[in-house]
Amino acid sequence: MHVIEMKQLMAKVNRQELNRRFKEVYHYLVQQKIIVKNDRFRSQSSFATKLGTKGHIINAYLEDKRKITYEQVKQLCTHYSVNEAYMFQGIGNPFEKSKLPDPEQRLAMALGINFSPNILFTNVEAFSSNTIGVDLLEENEWFRIPGVNGELVAFNINGNSMKPTIGSGDMVICSPLQNTDEMIDNEIYAVVTSQSVWVKRVQRCYDRHNCWTHLRLISDNHEEYDPFIIEINEVRKLLKVKRRLTGLM
């Protein structure tokens, strides 16, 4: 659903009815033991976290002291396979027959396993031996791989500077670092500057005052590609390469 369509829909939604439908779905999830009091993975607190809120706020919705937000309803639909048309428009049933959680899905929900896609695939290639403009990185599609969790970014590699570890045509899945201090020397990262993206092993470089000032970028194919150094101030983002998928092209 496009953003404009969603905004138009929200303007027509009766918040009281939305909250009533939320309570109906919530009690169904309790009945199905997808939400279980005092259970580590299935507690109301865990449920609230998936919706981006707290347990006491959920209680306020259930007691009609507050009304659930549109974004939280979207999260409910995403994480628990709830019918959006029912939630926002009252059309159909909370769980359409084709979308009713099967036993495997109910178990996954109970254990807190998220079925929603979490890996953003970009439609450009990050060259491991050359560079590309960062402004060309566009959102393309999202996907999910079982057992690979977190908010991740994926892109294809074109170049052989990281052979044999990463080959041309491989896809790398990366996790953005929240802080550059999380970086570990000699591991592989996607290094993003205002102009370029490199996929290299990285090392910290310090000045005579022991201040971290530069990054040394190293290719695994060191016989053909020499290391080079960039200033740490040039780095906009570091993404840790978590997985490599090969044989995709």
Q: pLDDT tens digit string along 50-70?
A: 899 999 999 999 999 999 998
Q: Is the pLDDT of residue 123 over 50?
A: yes
The pLDDT, as a whole number, for residue 137 is 46
User: Is 241 found in the same domain as 163?
Assistant: yes
Q: Could you tell me if 80 and 182 lie in one domain?
A: no
Which helix H or strand E contains 24, and what residues bound it? helix 15-31
pLDDT of residue 92: 84
Distance CA 42, CA 58 (A): 14
Strands 197-206 and 139-143: unpaired
Residues 168 and 230 occupy one common structural domain: yes
Q: What is the mean pLDDT of residues 177-185?
A: 87
* 172 in Cβ contact with 157 (< 8 Å): yes
What pLDDT is attached to residue 136?
A: 42
Residue 125 has pLDDT above 70, yes or no: no
Asked whether residue 98 falls in the same domain as residue 19, the answer is yes
Ranges 144-158, 171-185, 210-224: which has the least confidence: 144-158
State both tokens at 171.
């896809």
Domain count, the chain: 2
pLDDT at residue 13 tops 60: yes
End-to-end Cα separation, the chain, in angstroms? 31
Q: How many other CB atoms are found less than 10 A from the CB of residue 75?
A: 18
Domain boundary among 110, 131, 148: 110
- Residue 78 clears pLDDT 60, i.e. is over it: yes
Q: Could you list the residue range(s) of the whole structural domain that residue 232 is in? A: 119-245
112 vs 249: CA distance, rounded Å:
34
pLDDT of amino acid 116: 59
194 and 131 both lie in a single domain? yes
- Cis check: omega of the bond before 117, within 30 degrees of 0: no
Last residue of a domain, one of 75, 110, 145: 110
Q: What gap in Å lies between CA 235 and CA 182, rounded to an integer?
A: 14
Query: Residue 10 in contact with residue 70, Cβ under 8 Å?
Result: yes
Highest mean pLDDT among 7-11, 119-123, 176-180: 176-180
Phi, psi (rounded to 5 degrees) for 69 = -85, 160
Q: Which of 191, 217, 192, 193 is nearest to 203 (CA)?
A: 217
By percentage, how much of the chain surpasses pLDDT 70? Answer: 76
Q: Which two structure tokens, joined as six digits, stand for 70?
A: 């549109």
200 phi and psi, to 5 degrees?
-150, 165
Judge residue 233's burial from the number of C-beta atoms within 10 Å of its C-beta, 0-12 exposed, 13-18 middle, 19 or more buried.
exposed
pLDDT at 248 over 90: no
Among candidate residues 101, 121, 185, 117, the one with its CA nearest the CA of residue 150: 117
Residues 134 and 228 in one domain: yes
Q: 107-116: per-residue pLDDT in tens? A: 555 555 555 5
pLDDT mean across residues, the chain = 80
Gap between the Cα atoms of 51 and 77, Å rounded: 10
